[in-house]
């Protein structure tokens, strides 16, 4: 296929990490991400001459990482063993499980991809949108399918249709099944029959995100009914905030819009891409009769309008913030509007989500919130769901995955209560090597660890986390930047005119004239004094003196320390 832009990266250091060879007959399990954070889920299972990868997720960047788009797993271990990789399985299309795919794909030689048709389509769209090459064979998987992948016999199944892309997997061994569950939500005990294949469970790896959430999961039909009640009561516009890749929400809202004669406005390219992918695989039909453009929104009664407000995939709150601050694409939140927050925020975005709720409330809109209304869809089962699954499977060994350490520990406590011995449970960290040894008689933390240094996606670049760069960005974001622009006549050995000043994120120029006059006079004096004392002009020396003296002046006058950038133009 067409060759696209290659992301710049330095994922692999020249020094190879020493890790002991896996003993024949044993199984090695490594979580390269997803056991110390929410997101970045990536697990590898190694046996004999084969490695299969389960997921390659991204983590959304935190406020402490300005300019960073995503954090992705460190794949050095895989790059050093590319010849053993037999395929990569995706259990979900969400970014937490598949967002790193475009950035690691070439580095592991484009392995075969095993996922449901919808997920495969999304993976291709994400790569195309970033102009990144992919040469993989995409194998569409459906439930109750069995495949041989390298040395592994893999069965694909699911417990719930909360999303049309999710899969769970079971790897058959002579000692029992190694089961990986990313979708653990149950809406009925009959779903537990999915686990009946006649084999015992050797080792269970299961999602831990909702281990503290009690009660049963909501039934999908119940969620649609609740949304219908909200739509029926709407006296003004409806805004739906949901993850762009939450296809169930999207399909049900489109169905309701048609049933209730409402019109849909798609706010971003990301949700348009998701709908296009869902249409391609037959999940969504023709919607041209209910979707209208922003230009036509004023042609309809406001109570008949539903806006999907998603923002760029992974940053679902951004466009709503723009609407609340100054309007966005001609959209405004007004008194009497309804805002449906249908999915809970990622852990590190909870403060931002609370601030957003405050702003929505101040604008006069009513919030229908996932926490209090029965509209939440989650692949992660509640504590009740998980307890039923654990008691059904009764695994010999247990490894909690997909969550922060505390969530994993709570999940492990659940398994202990069932009676599983302490030495049969391992709470992993990223990069920890776990092995099932001695004909599956014991599970062990080998005390060896893969390279886990943080890898980030920063614009078009991929690489290790450089704290110095982030610190500079943090200072720029908090303190601002102050420019001193000067013209020096190199032949005449003089300053052509008083320096010009500019600032971003520091002070409002019109209200800080006294400060700026003082900074300009100081800059002029510094340059003229240097020129009078030095026959040979060193531009870098002038910049250094300006930076030092102006920084001290601004700190004294404002108690802030912006980044001072002197710009010298030679004429």
pLDDT in tens, 334-367: 899 999 886 655 554 666 778 888 888 998 999 8
For residue 51, the SS3 value is strand
> Residue 328 carries which DSSP code?
B
Q: CA-to-CA distance for 419 and 480, rounded, in angstroms? A: 57
Q: CA-to-CA distance for 462 and 70, rounded, in angstroms? A: 10
At residue 18, the pLDDT reads 78
If you average pLDDT over residues 418-425, what whole number do you get? Answer: 96
- With tokens 């809406």, the residue in question is 187
Nearest Cα to 257, choosing from 221, 220, 232, 226? 232
Q: CA-to-CA distance for 293 and 38, rounded, in angstroms? A: 35
Is residue 115's pLDDT more than 90?
A: yes
Burial of residue 383 (CB within 10 Å: 0-12, 13-18, 19+) is middle
Residue-wise pLDDT for 92-113, tens only, equals 888 889 999 999 999 999 999 9
The proportion of the chain whose per-residue pLDDT surpasses 90, expressed as a percent, equals: 45
Tokens of 27: 């199984």
Q: CA-to-CA distance for 80 and 142, rounded, in angstroms? A: 31
CA distances to 207, 338, 339, 520 from 550, rounded to whole Å, are 54, 50, 48, 9
Q: CA-to-CA distance for 382 and 168, rounded, in angstroms? A: 17
Nearest Cα to 193, choosing from 167, 159, 219? 159
What's the chain's average pLDDT? 84
Q: CA-to-CA distance for 533 and 542, rounded, in angstroms? A: 12
If you average pLDDT over residues 402-409, what whole number do you get? Answer: 94
Is residue 372's pLDDT more than 50?
A: no
CA distances to 226, 483, 518, 550, 558 from 515, rounded to whole Å, are 58, 14, 5, 11, 9
Is residue 561's pLDDT more than 90?
A: no
Nearest Cα to 165, choosing from 98, 214, 253, 72? 98
CA distances to 306, 456, 483, 493 from 538, rounded to whole Å, are 62, 38, 19, 12
In the chain, what are the domains? 26-214+378-465 (3.60.15.10), 220-369 (3.40.50.10710), 468-570 (3.10.20.580)
Local confidence band at 375 (pLDDT 50, 70, 90 cut-offs): low
Determine phi and psi for 55, rounding to 5 degrees: 75, 160
Q: CA-to-CA distance for 327 and 538, rounded, in angstroms? A: 49
At residue 197, the pLDDT reads 77
Task: Average the pLDDT over each of 98-102, 374-378, 408-412 and give the range with the smallest value.
Answer: 374-378
Q: In what order do the strands lie in the sheet with 59-60?
A: 8-9, 461-464, 455-458, 70-72, 59-60
pTM for the model: 0.79
Q: CA-to-CA distance for 2 and 39, rounded, in angstroms? A: 31
Q: CA-to-CA distance for 227 and 238, rounded, in angstroms? A: 11
If you average pLDDT over residues 66-79, what whole number do you get? Answer: 85
At residue 195, the pLDDT reads 78
Task: Transcribe 357-368 into DSSP letters.
Answer: HHHHHHTTPEEE
Q: CA-to-CA distance for 53 and 114, rounded, in angstroms? A: 10
CA distances to 414, 494, 509, 521, 547 from 487, rounded to whole Å, are 70, 9, 21, 15, 16
Q: Which of 62-66, 335-339, 443-447 has the highest mean pLDDT?
A: 443-447
Q: Which of 15-24, 266-275, 436-445, 502-511 has the highest mean pLDDT?
A: 436-445
- State how beta strands 42-47 and 27-33 pair: antiparallel
Q: CA-to-CA distance for 300 and 262, rounded, in angstroms? A: 9
Nearest Cα to 436, choosing from 23, 3, 13? 23
Neighbouring C-alpha atoms within 13 Å toward the C-beta of 3: 1
If you average pLDDT over residues 264-270, what whole number do you get? Answer: 83
At residue 349, the pLDDT reads 61
Local confidence band at 509 (pLDDT 50, 70, 90 cut-offs): low
Please, which residues have CB within 8 angstroms of residue 509's CB and are 6 or more apart in sequence? 503, 516
Nearest Cα to 502, choosing from 563, 545, 552? 563
CB 483 within 8 A of CB 501: yes
Residue-wise pLDDT for 158-203, tens only, equals 755 556 678 899 999 999 999 999 888 776 666 677 777 778 999 9
Q: CA-to-CA distance for 547 and 221, rounded, in angstroms? A: 64
If you average pLDDT over residues 564-568, what whole number do you get? Answer: 91
Count of C-beta atoms within a 10 Å radius of residue 557: 14
At residue 418, the pLDDT reads 93
If you average pLDDT over residues 122-129, what whole number do you get? Answer: 91
> Residue 436 carries which DSSP code?
E
How far is it between the farthest Cα atoms of the chain? 92
Residue-wise pLDDT for 207-265, tens only, equals 998 888 776 665 666 777 888 888 888 889 999 886 555 677 788 889 889 999 999 99
């Amino acid at each position: 296929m067409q060759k696209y832009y290659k992301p710049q990266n330095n994922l692999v250091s020249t020094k190879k990490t020493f890790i002991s060879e896996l003993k024949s007959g044993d199984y090695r399990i490594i979580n390269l991400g997803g056991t110390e954070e929410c997101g970045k889920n990536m697990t590898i299972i190694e046996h004999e001459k084969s490695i299969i990868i389960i997921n390659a997720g991204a983590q959304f960047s935190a406020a402490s990482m300005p300019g960073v788009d995503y954090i992705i797993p460190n794949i050095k271990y895989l790059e050093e063993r590319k010849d053993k990789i037999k395929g990569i399985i995706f259990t979900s299309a969400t970014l937490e499980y598949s967002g790193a795919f475009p950035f690691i794909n070439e580095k592991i030689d484009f392995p075969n991809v095993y996922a449901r048709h919808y997920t495969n389509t999304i993976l291709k769209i994400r790569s195309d949108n970033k102009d990144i090459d992919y040469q993989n064979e995409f194998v569409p998987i459906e439930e109750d399918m069995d495949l041989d992948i390298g040395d592994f016999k893999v069965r694909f199944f699911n417990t719930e249709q909360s999303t049309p892309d999710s899969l769970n997997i079971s790897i058959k061994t002579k000692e029992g099944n190694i089961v990986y569950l990313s979708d653990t939500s149950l809406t009925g005990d009959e779903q537990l029959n999915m686990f009946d294949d006649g084999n015992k469970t050797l080792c269970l790896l299961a999602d831990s995100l909702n281990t503290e959430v009690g009660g049963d999961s909501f039934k999908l039909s119940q969620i649609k009914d609740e949304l219908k009640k909200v739509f029926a009561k709407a006296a003004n516009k409806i805004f739906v905030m949901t993850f762009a890749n939450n296809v169930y929400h999207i399909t049900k809202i489109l169905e309701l819009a048609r049933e209730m004669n409402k019109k849909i406005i798609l706010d971003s390219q990301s949700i348009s891409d998701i709908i296009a992918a869902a249409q391609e695989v037959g999940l969504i039909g023709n919607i041209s009769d209910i979707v209208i453009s922003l230009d036509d929104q004023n042609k309809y009664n406001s109570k008949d309008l539903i806006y999907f407000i998603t923002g760029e995939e992974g940053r679902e709150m951004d466009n709503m913030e723009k609407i609340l601050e100054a309007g966005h694409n001609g959209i405004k939140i007004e008194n009497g509007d309804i805002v449906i927050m249908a999915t809970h925020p990622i852990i590190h975005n909870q403060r931002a989500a609370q601030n957003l709720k405050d702003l929505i409330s101040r604008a006069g809109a009513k919030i229908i919130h996932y926490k209090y209304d029965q509209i939440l869809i989650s692949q992660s089962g509640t504590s009740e769901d998980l307890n039923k699954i654990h008691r059904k499977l009764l695994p010999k060994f247990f490894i909690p995955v997909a969550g922060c350490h505390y969530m994993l520990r709570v999940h492990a406590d659940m398994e202990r209560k069932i009676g599983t011995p302490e030495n049969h449970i391992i709470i992993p960290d990223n990069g920890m090597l776990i092995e099932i040894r001695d004909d599956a008689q014991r599970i062990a933390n080998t005390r060896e660890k893969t390279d886990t240094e943080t890898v980030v996606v920063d614009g078009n670049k991929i690489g290790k986390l450089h704290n110095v760069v982030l610190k500079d960005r943090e200072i720029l974001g908090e303190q601002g930047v102050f420019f001193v622009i000067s013209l020096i006549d190199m032949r005449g050995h003089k300053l052509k005119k008083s320096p010009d000043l500019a600032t971003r994120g520091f002070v409002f120029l019109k209200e800080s004239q006294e400060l700026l006059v003082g900074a300009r006079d100081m800059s002029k004096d510094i340059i003229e004094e240097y020129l009078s004392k030095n026959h040979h002009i060193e531009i870098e020396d002038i910049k250094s003196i300006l930076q030092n003296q102006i920084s001290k002046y601004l700190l004294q006058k404002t108690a802030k320390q912006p980044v001072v950038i002197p710009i010298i133009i030679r004429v």
